[in-house]
Amino acid sequence: MIRWFDITVSLIAIFFTVPLFMVSLCLSMCFIGFPPFYVSKRRGYMGRDFNHVKIRTMLPGPQIGRVFFELNRINRVGWFLRISHLDELPDLFHILVGQMSFVGPRPLMLQALEAHKTKIRENVKPGWTGLAQVQLLKKGVLSKELQERLDIIYVEKRSFVYNLRIIFATFRYAVLGKKIDINPNTTNARIQFQKNGFKYHKK
């Protein structure tokens, strides 16, 4: 069911976002430079690596740290592509071919794997959104420990309906600005979808 959903929705989304995709590519080429794509190796399902593609948002230059935080290499166009998530449109193609799913742990760059102790996240396909992304949308920050914890909870609770709830919560907060209540200060918790989003409750 999850795979059929991924195929169907990604095809529909690709069809309707082709104009946005082309405009984003043109903006990247004209104001940021060539090539218009940023390709990095990511860890995927069952530990298989794949080439993850994003639309380039950073000016050419030497990488001196975590590339995401090299803000001096981001101009206004790159910032717009990033905050609008237009740079992530290629994820739809990754989802269509089965390298990713709409919901799951974000695919980690290979150099970031050492910071994550558990490999349970590799039991599912990496996702476009997930519990960790919902937390990031709400707080603006996300610790590695909390990201790992939320990824584990997702793997244990994963289902088609659960995925739909996470997708709905993502859009509800990202598009409408609705608050999502996530309390990470519990153990042995489950995540329950409510009117205002996700909230932890002890079993």
Give the model confidence (pLDDT) of 172-191 as tens digits.
Answer: 777 666 544 444 343 333 33
Whether omega for the bond prior to residue 35 falls within 30 degrees of 0, making it cis, is yes
Task: Using pLDDT thresholds of 50, 70 and 90, give the confidence band for residue 63.
Answer: low
SS3 75: coil
Query: In this structure, are strands 49-55 and 37-43 parallel, antiparallel, or unpaired?
Result: antiparallel
pLDDT of 61 > 70? The answer is: no
End-to-end C-alpha distance for the chain, whole angstroms: 27
Q: Would you state the pLDDT for residue 112?
A: 74
Lowest mean pLDDT among 25-34, 81-90, 146-155, 189-198: 189-198
Give the DSSP H or E segment for 102: strand 101-103
100-154 per-position pLDDT tens digit: 999 999 898 887 777 666 778 889 999 999 988 887 777 666 777 888 888 999 9
Q: Choose from 11-15, 134-138, 194-198 the range with maximum mean pLDDT.
A: 11-15
The length of the chain in residues reads: 203
Sequence spans of domains, the chain? 1-114, 130-203
CA 133 vs CA 106, 107, 151, 195: distances in Å: 8, 12, 10, 19
pLDDT digits (tens, 9 = 90+) for 33-51: 889 999 999 999 998 999 9
- pTM exceeding the 0.85 threshold for the entire prediction: no
Calculate mean pLDDT across residues 53-61: 88
CA dist., res. 182 & res. 109, Å (int): 26
